[in-house]
Structure 1
Amino acid sequence: MIHENSEAIINLYQSWLDAWNSRNATAMAKLFAEDGNLIGFDGSQLIGRDDLHVTLDNIFSHHPTAAYVAIVREIRHLAAGVAWLKADVGMVPSGKEDISPALNAVQTLIALKTADSWQISLFQNTPAAFHGQPELGEAMTEELRKVLKGDSGVNLN
């Protein structure tokens, strides 16, 4: 049975993906709790909405960022008003039509329920290197390519 708040968590994550893919730093920052944290693919850390907004706006203004394609793998409700989401993601570089396997990652977020909505407290993007297990990376890429082609979508898989 899927928890009643799972759809809200998926919607929060989808909003994050949409904001990144549309290169909208304002929309991204608004999804986070005031003291929210983002840990990037390279280990960089952004703390708080202001830091998130300024840094992401600078990134989007100066770099042609790749677009995410995602498969939500798991949602856990840790306590009342606290949820954890894990997703596999691939990225399609700007101007390209296919995923770059070197950019595949596993994303996790911790969401907190406020009086009005769910907000991201912590977001982490970890490279999916699969050292010594290239078949896992290849399988992830093929699944993500199906999402890219529209054969499936961002849903709880």
Structure 2
Amino acid sequence: MLVQPIAANAPVANDPADAEAVASLLDQLYRAWGDADAYASLFTEDADYIAFDGTHTRGRSAIAESHRPLFERFLKNSRLFGESSSTRFLTPDVALIHSKGAVLRAGQQRPSRRRLSIQTVVAVKQAEGWRFAAFHNTRYQPFTQTLLGKLLALAGLAPGS
């Protein structure tokens, strides 16, 4: 297989319908939360899925099976809160998405600071439409909420102060 380099920040002309389809795919991911089969159906057959704790799952069926017990017990009646922070088309058929989000437990209106996550997601265009080929989720803590960030803010040395 020949791999051609992609110039950094090279603009890729993309169809507005594809941009809308990728945004819709991410929205479908949030709506499918709680249903292991619906959630996994948004991924390619051979997708790579890395959870916030580093657990690596490969394949659509494994993604469904790894989420099923979570949705039935630990995350029952939870919902996924999220938003895309950027989407960049690397080629007309490959999109790189960065999003932020968190799991909201039943009755929770705002995400816990301890559960804030950022995702790097790769979506690919296939015959059946856009699907996620790779998903990497990790926890993050905004700098202003870290001990160092708070100390620098008190000293007037924090970025933006």
CA drift of 1:135 comes to 4.7
Using CA pairs under 8 Å that are at least 6 residues apart, name the structure with larger relative contact order, 1 or 2: 1
**Cα deviations by residue, 1:108-133 (Å, 9 ceiling, x for unpaired):** 21011012200110011111124xx2
> Are residue 134 (structure 1) and residue 147 (structure 2) matched?
no
Give me the whole-angstrom Cα distance separating, in 2, the residues matched to 1:29 and 1:92: 19
2:75 corresponds to:
64
Counterpart residue type for residue 88 of structure 2: R
Tell me the secondary structure at the aligned position of residue 127 of structure 2.
Answer: coil
Structure 2: segments with no counterpart, 5+ residues: 1-12, 147-161
Residue aligned with 1:16, SS: helix
- Deviation per residue, 1:83-125 (Å, 9 max, x gap): 0111111332223232211100111210110122001100111
Q: 2: distance between equivalents of 1:98 and 1:80? A: 36
**Identity across aligned pairs (percent)?**
26
The verdict on how the C-alpha distance between 1:64 and 1:115 changes in structure 2, with shifts beyond 3 A counting, is closer
Count of paired positions: 132
Amino acid at match of 2:66: T
SS at match of 1:97: coil
Residue number in structure 1 paired with 2:134: 122
Cα deviation, residue 62, structure 1: 1.9
In 1, the alpha carbon distance for the partners of 2:102 and 2:69 equals 22
Distance in 2 between residues matched to 1:17 and 1:43, nearest whole Å: 21
- Structure 1 counterpart of 2:31: 18
Return the letter of the residue paired with 1:56. Answer: H
Tell me, in whole angstroms, the C-alpha distance in 1 between the residues paired with 2:140 and 2:75. Answer: 22
Which AA in structure 2 matches 1:9? V
Distance 2:131 2:92 in 1: 14
When normalised by structure 1's length, the TM-score is 0.76
Aligned partner of residue 98 in structure 2, secondary structure: strand
Alignment-derived partner of residue 6 in structure 1: 19
Looking at structure 1, the residues matched to 73 and 19 of structure 2 have their Cα atoms a distance apart, in angstroms, of 35
Question: Retained in 2: the 8 A contact 1:93–1:100?
Answer: no
**Distance across 2 between alignment mates of 1:59 and 1:83:** 28
TM-score (normalised: structure 2): 0.74
Partner of 1:32: 43
Name which of 11, 35, 56 aligns with 1:45: 56
CA deviations on 1:59-93 (whole Å, 9 max, x unpaired) are 11121354222221110000121001111113322
What residue in structure 2 maps to residue 147 of structure 1? none
**Gapped regions of structure 1 (runs ≥ 5):** 137-157
> Would you say the 8 A contact 2:113–2:141 is kept in 1?
no
Q: Which residue of 1 aligns with 2:7?
A: none
